Structure 1
Amino acid sequence: MMLEVIVQNVKEAIQAENLGADRIELVSVIQEGGLTPGYSTMKQVLSSVSIPVQVMVRPHSNHFYYTTEDMKIIKEDIKRIIEFGGERIVFGALDVNNAINEQILVDILNIYPQLDITFHRAFDDVLSQTEAYQTLTKYKRNVKRILTSGGEEDCWKGQKKLRDLVLTAKRNSGPKIMPGSGLSLQNIEEIHDIVQADQYHFGKAVRIDHSFTNGFDAQIMNKIKSVI
């Protein structure tokens, strides 16, 4: 199973790799749920680690509806990621009805068909996760995984819905389900017993004193790796 962790800079990225993370999500402004990192940070991280780097592409935290001006920024950010040697992004867009915005996905993939996408927790804001999953399955060549807490506040509360989503993914051979939000050393074993995902996303629970201002806690990372 895969362990993905959030990083904010090159120092954290290198530490995460050295402690056994299988993949990293690179973000800025984590206190707002994660926004697009700066170009210099993208470039440094992408050239400094050998594990996969999923770069957050999210221009603001206001909502997941993107204007024409937002899309100009988003496309420029993706262009820079590719120029720096990346092709993996964390992205999600909804329409005004809280459904997957397919037009935006199609538009981006027509320009950048090589993208490997994690559809982020905008998925937890949709009206129907079943319908949203079926929509994203149409783009499974590029949308490889969905980061979600099952539409609930965290994975503990959403574990039964996450289990259903994992079963749906297996039946449809669609995007993988990657549980994230509220996972910790204390609950991961019990959640995994129910959910049975093959990858998990951790944030502050793997940090010293559970704070993003600190580095990773090697002991916690090792224990989580032994569980999953």
Structure 2
Amino acid sequence: MSKIEVIVLNDEDAKIAEAYGADRLELVTAIGEGGLTPSYGAIKRVVNSVKIPVMIMLRPHNYSFTYQKEEWDMIREDIRIIRELGAEGIVFGALTEEKLVDFDILAMVLEEADSLSITFHRAIDESKPLEIYRSLCESPHKINQVLTSGGKPTVMQGLEGLRNLVKDSMRDNDKPVIMPGSGLDINNIKFIHQTLQAQQYHFGSGVRKEGDFRQSIDRKILQKIKGIVYSQA
């Protein structure tokens, strides 16, 4: 049965999302900048307000997915606090200047993360998703989920690439789960799910009133999406 992950910005979002169908949450701040690491206070409030797993965006800046070794101390401190506050895991992605996975930084992050769940985020869509995905599969460092729109701005535009990614991921249960995300909403999820049959889906503004992050989560929309994904399983 497919699971639904929902982006939340605060504890009120989190409680609504949990009550109306979300299986897991991703907590971010500065969503208008693509999402950055939230404050420790926000993490604590959200984690303590729900029983479902909470993933935390780990992204110290918004101008690229390339990180310098000098930023490592800050990233490591964030991971330590995230773990101590009881979050399920982190959402992270790092690329080299050549748009390949930065395995040096990723290895340090995963070692520090220890038992936390890891989602490699849409940094993968900056390059060639299938090639990046396969390189992640071959890495000795365990990634649990990969959030991707198939190398295109939205899932609908990236369906062909996502088909290949989902198919590749299902060849081995040990491979990271492909989680389609970007542009998913009540109007397209039935077609997308029938096409991909992915194990997880990631929703952002598509579960908000008027499709706007400045508005609250729409309970009815989230419930309907949950019904569609579950009925199509």
Q: Is the aligned partner of 1:159 residue 2:145?
A: no
Residue 136 of structure 1 and its aligned partner are, at CA, apart by 1.1
Distance 1:87 1:70 in 2: 23
Deviation per CA, 1:26-58: give whole Å up to 9, x if none: 000000111000010011111111101010000
Residue 170 of structure 1 and its aligned partner are, at CA, apart by 0.7
Aligned to 1:94: 95
Distance 2:141 2:196 in 1: 24
TM-score (norm 2): 0.93
Residue 111 of structure 1 and its aligned partner are, at CA, apart by 2.7
> Which of 131-140 and 190-199 deviates more?
131-140
Aligned pair in 2 of structure 1 residues 87, 202: CA closer, same or farther (>3 Å)?
A: closer
Distance 2:140 2:86 in 1: 22
Aligned to 2:106: 105
Aligned to 1:191: 192
Within 5 A, what are the aligned runs for 1:208-223?
A: 208-223=209-224
Residue 141 of structure 1 and its aligned partner are, at CA, apart by 6.5
Distance 1:13 1:87 in 2: 14
Tell me the number of residue pairs that the alignment of Structure 1 and Structure 2 aligns.
227
Residue 68 of structure 1 and its aligned partner are, at CA, apart by 2.0
Aligned pair in 2 of structure 1 residues 200, 211: CA closer, same or farther (>3 Å)?
A: same
Contact 1:163 1:196 in 2 (8 A): no
Within 5 A, what are the aligned runs for 1:75-154?
A: 75-126=76-127, 128-139=128-139, 142-154=142-154
Q: Is the aligned partner of 1:44 residue 2:57?
A: no
Distance 1:23 1:210 in 2: 20
Aligned to 1:59: 60
Aligned pair in 2 of structure 1 residues 180, 73: CA closer, same or farther (>3 Å)?
A: same
Aligned pair in 2 of structure 1 residues 140, 160: CA closer, same or farther (>3 Å)?
A: farther
Distance 1:34 1:94 in 2: 17
Aligned to 1:12: 13
Deviation per CA, 1:121-157: give whole Å up to 9, x if none: 001012x322211221135873111000000010001
Contact 1:55 1:89 in 2 (8 A): yes
Residue 224 of structure 1 and its aligned partner are, at CA, apart by 0.5
Distance 1:159 1:28 in 2: 28
Identity of counterpart residues, as a percentage?
Answer: 45
Task: List, as ranges, runs of 4+ consecutive aligned residues in structure 1 with deviation greater than 3 Å.
Answer: 138-142
Deviation per CA, 1:72-126: give whole Å up to 9, x if none: 2111111110111224000000011100111111112223321211100001012
Aligned AA (1:219): K
RMSD: 1.3
SS at match of 2:171: helix
SS at match of 2:144: strand
Residue 70 of structure 1 and its aligned partner are, at CA, apart by 2.1
